[in-house]
Chain A
Amino acid sequence: MTIHQPIEIHAPAPADHPPRRLINPEALISAILALMALSALSGLFIITAFIFKEGVPIIAKVGIRRFIFSSDWYPLEGAFGIFPMIVGSLAVTAGAMVIGVIFGLGCAILLTQFCPPRLVSIIKPSIELLAGIPSVVYGFIGVAILVPFIRDHLGGPGLSVLASSIVLGVMTLPTITSISVDALQSVPKSYIEGAIALGATQWQTTHMVTLKAARSGIVAAVILGMGRAVGETMAVIMVAGNTIDIPHSILDPVRTLTSNIALEMSYAAGDHRKALFATGVTLFVIIMSLNTIALAVSRRRTGKVYAK
């Protein structure tokens, strides 16, 4: 009789040496995540490369100075000057910032300094909800209510810098308010308590201490809001009037860089199309600079807070 040796006993215990799997799940997941992250990055890269590839040659052909400083935009005749659109974008954005900063910052101060928490829990989400309204709806409200109001009561065609500024100002409110609120809330309690202890009133504390301490965060909020205003297209096309003339008053119509692209893209061919990409390059440079400034400013803020 042969005694069967139980093989199992000699088999290595699973606990000591786990069976080697083909793929380590941890590594797999991190690879997938890396791929996803890279796809976002490569999206940015491809877009950048593409608009520069399409746009830069025509800028070179026209000459950068003529392209940026000439007011002649007659694409079918080969005249590509986007100065009125640059002025238009800047005018509309500046107007939007006046409205966005006054109301957004006012709101942020109210929410962080003067408001009972229960009210905050109503007001803050409502403002953030503004960000969820599609821009075409803003444009529609602008055309249906704001434009006739301006035309009937202030004069001009109604479609104007003013109308676009108001619409864009409201659209930037959520950005400006919520980032400013974060900035104001991150001011150390001890600053505020110190000010109160020195006998300052609440408003004195707010404007002499809290606002100063949160300044760079607020600047970042404003610049991000500005980026949104510069880049907005649909609502602006609907309320700006889109003339290619430089506006002389806030009641004059304007065309912005974004609306120039969106208006003419579907029709454009050849150099005209390339000039629209070049308009995109200009816009890209403006928005990237704004975002870089915002990033730099907000970095400085964190530095300050932790440096004490």
Chain B
Amino acid sequence: MRMALTAAAVVLVLVLLCVDWRGGGSSALNVIGSTSVQPFAEMLAQEFNDQTTDFVVDVQGGGSTAGLQAAANGVADIGMCSRSLKEGEEFTAIPIARDGLAIVVHPSNPLLALTRPQIRKIFAGELTNWNQVGGDNRPIRLITREEGSGTREAFTKLVMGNSRISRKALTQESNGSVKELVRYDPAAIAYMSLGLVGAELKALHVDGFAPTAAEVTANRYPLVRPFLFVTQGPPTPKAQRFIDFVLSPHAQRLLEKEGLVPIK
């Protein structure tokens, strides 16, 4: 008898596990990808979910390449990508905003500006002390993102050219952890999404242009990359509704307020 009860309990638990408890779970729109786009997409999804009742938008990170993969195999309705698509990546790509790539240092660093060749030499490990670029006498500590990150690929394309990022660079797996490191390390230099810099870090001028949304809009600040929503084939009607929302003037204004550059 007790055996039967136990068995029944086990079966019950298994059945309960199979039930989706989110209610409208089956009608969620999955948006997966770049951790650079993620915080903005989450903010927009929140806004969208407040207005919409028939389905919810569910945003997850993972990285640009993961986002593309998820879109390709149908796990995600929309993939988020923080770099231009490469050749051979066949997707419908919808730019939702542009983002500057900020070169960030500790606020106590007296340096204000760098040129792209200087940044390249620093990240290639050829310049190793801040005094070589007009700063304090202090070794430079490089912080980079992991291989395959959209931010890293955008940085490589915009700055590094054919040089490689030094092996000695500390590798962190998200914008958040890069920020945490730079925040407490006076010797650090890193690159990250301009929209995520915040007040704790100092973003340097690049090639003489200030890292501000205004300079990005004016096409003067040189380190700019697109934020893309990608779908495999044309977007589904639900995906299209979210995309339309994101491209709406209201949502674009929200993005601008968060430090991104609107697409229109």
Which A residues have a C-beta under 8 Å from some C-beta of B? Answer: 25, 29, 71, 73-76, 84, 143, 148, 151, 157-159, 237-238, 241-245, 253, 255, 263-264, 266-269, 272
Contact = CB atoms under 8 A, between A and B. Distances in A.
Given A74-B164, A263-B146, A269 B169 contact: no
Contacts of B172: 242
A75 B148 contact: yes
Given A76-B147, A143-B180, A151-B185, A267 B171 contact: no
Interface string B163-177: 010011111110001
Nearest to A72: B167
B167 A243 contact: yes
Given A148-B184, A264-B146, A242 B171 contact: yes
B141 interface: yes
Contacts of A268: 65, 147-148
25 contacts: A25-B3, A74-B147, A76-B147, A148-B184, A151-B185, A157-B141, A157-B185, A157-B187, A158-B185, A241-B170, A241-B171, A242-B146, A243-B168, A243-B169, A244-B167, A244-B171, A245-B167, A266-B63, A267-B65, A267-B147, A268-B65, A268-B147, A269-B65, A272-B147, A272-B148
B171 A263 contact: yes
Nearest to B149: A267
A86 to B, nearest CB: 15
B159 interface: no
Contacts of A73: 147
B171 A243 contact: yes
Nearest to A242: B171
A268 B177 CA distance: 20
Which of B62, B64, B65, B146 is the most central at the interface, judged by chain A CB atoms within 10 Å of its CB?
B146
A75 B156 CA distance: 14
Nearest to A262: B173
A34 B66 CA distance: 39
B30 interface: no
Contacts of B167: 71, 84, 243-245
Contacts of A245: 167-168
Interface of B: 3, 62-66, 69, 141, 146-149, 164, 167-173, 177, 180-181, 184-185, 187
Nearest to B164: A74
Which of A25, A73, A157 is the most central at the interface, judged by chain B CB atoms within 10 Å of its CB?
A157
B148 A267 contact: yes
B148 A243 contact: no
B2 to A, nearest CB: 12
A264 B63 CA distance: 10
Contacts of A264: 146-148
Contacts of B149: 267
Contacts of A148: 184
A269 B171 contact: no
Contact of A267 (B64, B177, B180): B64
A237 B172 CA distance: 8
Given A241-B170, A242-B171, 18 more contacts: A25-B3, A29-B3, A73-B147, A75-B147, A75-B148, A148-B184, A157-B185, A159-B181, A238-B177, A242-B170, A253-B170, A263-B171, A263-B173, A266-B62, A266-B66, A266-B148, A267-B64, A267-B147
B70 to A, nearest CB: 10
Contacts of B146: 242, 263-264, 267
A255 B171 contact: yes
Given A75-B148, A143-B180, A157-B185, A266 B65 contact: yes
A241 B171 CA distance: 6
Contacts of B69: 269
Contacts of B181: 159
Contacts of A158: 185
A263 B62 CA distance: 10
Nearest to A28: B3
A237 B181 CA distance: 13
A159 B168 CA distance: 12
Closest 4 pairs (CB-CB, A-B): A267-B148, A242-B171, A267-B65, A245-B167
A269 B63 CA distance: 12
Contact of B170 (A75, A84, A243): A243
